Amino acid sequence: MADLFSSLSFRCGISAPNRVALAPLTNTQSHDDGTLGDDELRWLVRRARGGWGLISTCAAHVSPEAKGFVGQLGLFSDAHDAGLRQLASALVAEKTVPIVQLYHGGARSPFALTGARPVSAVAGEGQGDDVARAMTEREILACIDQFASAAERAQRAGFVGAEVHGAHGYLLCQFLSRNNTRADGWGGSLEGRARIVREVIRAVRSRCGTGFLLGVRLSPEDFGYAAGMDLDESVALARWFAEDGADFVHLSLWDYNKPSIKRPSEDIIALFRAALDPAVRLLVAGRIGTVADANAVLARGADMVSIGRAAILEPDWPTRARDANWSPEAGPLSRDELIERDVSARFVEYLRRFKTIVRAE
């Protein structure tokens, strides 16, 4: 098992100072036009100062119609460049590895935010302006270019890498799902369903070069919004994406201790580790709160742990975790306590849905 505080090298040549990553977290702290907000800058820089080896932005949308949340960071306009440069520079100064997460909400991009009817792999059900329509092939090709252009924009701004968001039932996950029954080469078979993500990875790698850190996030099974995902298919997808140029695969498990739905007697982390070349790094997220949790995930084959909820409660988690007698804050915390941790008032309101994070008042 790797030491949690040992450095981690990626095959692109980039190295992180430790194996603790800040998970990409929706935080609603930027401006409605996608430009960086002071609150989002403060939130991420505070975590960087806490010793995180790798820090990802929130899911940053690659086009205006890709937006899924209020206050979401954007990666598609020259107007975003100054803020992106400021953020990348501030994170690099704290000796962390800064990456962006590339995102398209697809069917989960509300009309009220984008002014456009959402798109997906296949047409959706329901009523009104939020019923998704199937993307045309021209739109798919344009979307691939938008992902690659967003990665280039991030690289020019000073970010050293990007993660392609293929999880949680957003657009790319909608294509990967077995519910994608398209018959035009962009759905149906696993090869067809994987095509858009493979093309995105190849395009980003081609545009940004071999020294750019590139990964992909996956929901390995049918759970929550990730409807139609199959474990064995996800293992195959991870291999393909690595062959296409991904330096790491990031598994979003929600709970690392939860047994697999399809293979409850087998360990999901170990399955992916065995399937991937050792040079391809495996990041794992899912209720990792304590040092014991982190070490358990590493022992099962992960190369790096990705922490979300605990990072909200404990901005200095990686630094404080070096003390063997330290126990992290379990929460919930009051609004004022969270604000002291550079969680903005707006972010606190978003987090109120999570009763273990924000204390009822």
- For residue 127, the model assigns a pLDDT of 83
Which CATH homologous superfamily contains domain 8-330? Aldolase class I (3.20.20.70)
307 contact partners, CB below 8 Å, separation of at least 6: 20, 21, 22, 23, 285, 288, 289, 294, 317
Beta bridge partners of 98: 55
Give the mean pLDDT of 308-316.
98
Question: Does residue 126 register a pLDDT over 80?
Answer: no
- For residue 125, the model assigns a pLDDT of 80
- For residue 21, the model assigns a pLDDT of 98
- For residue 1, the model assigns a pLDDT of 72
Structure tokens at 5: 């505080």
Q: Buried b vs exposed e over 268-279: b needs ≥16 C-beta within 10 Å?
A: bbebbbebbeee
- Nearest Cα neighbor of 86 from 35, 32, 16 is 35
Q: How many residues does the chain have?
A: 361
Q: Domain map of the chain by residue range?
A: 8-330
Measured CA to CA, the distance from residue 115 to residue 129 in angstroms comes to: 9
Q: What is the DSSP letter of 78?
A: G
The tens digit of pLDDT for each residue in 340-349 reads: 999 999 999 9
Give the mean pLDDT of 187-195.
98
3-state secondary structure of 153: helix
The tokens 């087998």 sit on which residue? 266
CA angle 72, 36, 349 (to 5 degrees): 50
Could you please report the per-residue DSSP string of 268-328?
A: HHHHHHHHS-TTSEEEEESS--SHHHHHHHHHTT-SEEEESHHHHH-TTHHHHTTSTT---
Whole-model pTM: value is 0.97
- For residue 147, the model assigns a pLDDT of 99
